Structure 1
Amino acid sequence: MSLFLFPHSIPSGGAAGIAILMNHWFHLSLGFSLWIANIVFLFFAIRYFGYTWTFRTILSVATTSTTVNFITLQVPHIHVHLLLDLIAGSVFFGIGVGILIRAGASSGGMVIPALMIATYKNWSPGKVMMGINLLIFLLTALVIDYKIVIFAIICQFFSTNIIDYIYELKIHKISFLTANWRKR
């Protein structure tokens, strides 16, 4: 997010959109804004998903916020091209969130209510997250620039499809140390 999306004010999701808005309005750092945007959802997560899942998500949010803060302040970003940055940010974000969900955690933010709704309704978590995030994207576009909603929707399209692919991916365990390994 820090390298590819945030320099263009493109939110990767709802919490990132809220963080960009807080950065725009109150000049808070993006990492700290991500923490603030996630606090409310973490309280819901404790009740709905339990302490273990929420603790993993808190670790994820802490890692993300710290990394965003460090990269934003220390690493100069050379803007290659807006569309290349958009695609790279979407792919990395989708892979990261997909892996987190498979590992029994999330990246926080709108992933938490999206997983709650997806679990309850038996819907795809990526598609639910896309619907929730549209409202925040529209607000970000109204406040900062109308083009952001288009870029954010493109980002969500790619990243949510990658999230769904990784979430539904069937991984077969290969065991070479069993007695019947040659019969496979």
Structure 2
Amino acid sequence: MHSFFRKNGLVLAGGIIQGFGMGVFLFPHSIPSGGAGGLAVLLNYWLDLDMGLALWLVNFSMLVAAIRFLGNSVALWTMVSITMTSFSVYFFQELLHLPVRTLWIDILFGSLFLGAGVGILLREGVSNGGVGVIALIIATYRNTLPGRPLFWINGLIFLLTASIINWQIIIQALLSQWISTKVVDLVCSLEFYGTYTLGMRKK
């Protein structure tokens, strides 16, 4: 029971932290936080969907892969994480409006919070949703840290997003991804062999 509440607390915290980074610092500049964020930006651009809702829809669509490759337990925890992240994005966008914005400072802080939140989730063996599911599958089967596959998968989606919306976005998004994935690997490596591999074992 203690381990359940501990994990639940960490998953909720990870979702809130990454939602804060995305909603307050990255999304106001239309900078995708990752593959799911890039697809959410496109849905917002094409269909004018709220970013929180668009992010939730993209993330939920990846749960089939989570169930198939990572097991029911990971899928359930992923549902919790993506719901909390999407709610946090909506909440913080509605609540916090920074009066003065500096693009590169926002990218830095947004990436640090994003990486910390995603790192907490992945360290617990929980996907942050979207292409994080794919990165977690690769990391599971290759017994490696998830930062590198996460970076390359997201980079391909950034290319698509930038080609449709604005090519300048790709520079900003790739910088954000480089920072955040470094933070992801830093957080995951703290207890990688002790917690990460156990958390990702199929149930």
Q: Tell me whether the two structures share a fold, i.e. TM-score over 0.5.
A: yes
CA distance 1:103–1:119, shift in 2 (3 Å): closer
| 1:59 paired to 2:89 | no
Q: Map of 1:95-110 to 2, 5 A cutoff? A: 95-110=116-131
Counterpart in the other structure of 2:66: 45
2:165 match? 144
**Is 2:62 the counterpart of 1:30?**
no
Residue number in structure 1 paired with 2:7: none
Which is greater in Rg? 1
* C-alpha contact 1:79 1:85 (8 A) present in aligned 2: no
2:139 to 104, 118, 122: 118
SS at match of 1:124: coil
Residue 6 in structure 1 maps to residue 27 in structure 2: yes
| TM, length-normalised to structure 2 | 0.80
Structure 1 unaligned blocks of 5 or more:
172-184
- Aligned equivalents of 1:16, 1:157: Cα separation in 2: 15
Q: Secondary structure at the match of 1:109?
A: coil
Indicate the residue corresponding to 2:112 in structure 1.
91
Deviation at 1:45, TM superposition (A): 0.4
Residues in 1 aligned to 2:157 and 2:173: alpha-carbon distance in whole angstroms: 10
Which shows bigger deviation, 138-147 or 148-157? 138-147
Q: Return 5+ residue gaps in structure 2 as ranges.
A: 1-21, 193-203
Query: For residue 18 of structure 1, what is the aligned residue in structure 2?
Result: 39
CA RMSD of aligned residues (A): 1.4
* Partner residue in 2 for 1:166: 187
Q: Secondary structure at the match of 1:23?
A: helix
Q: So what's the TM-score if we normalise by structure 1?
A: 0.88
Identity rate, percent: 45
Match of 2:174 in 1: 153
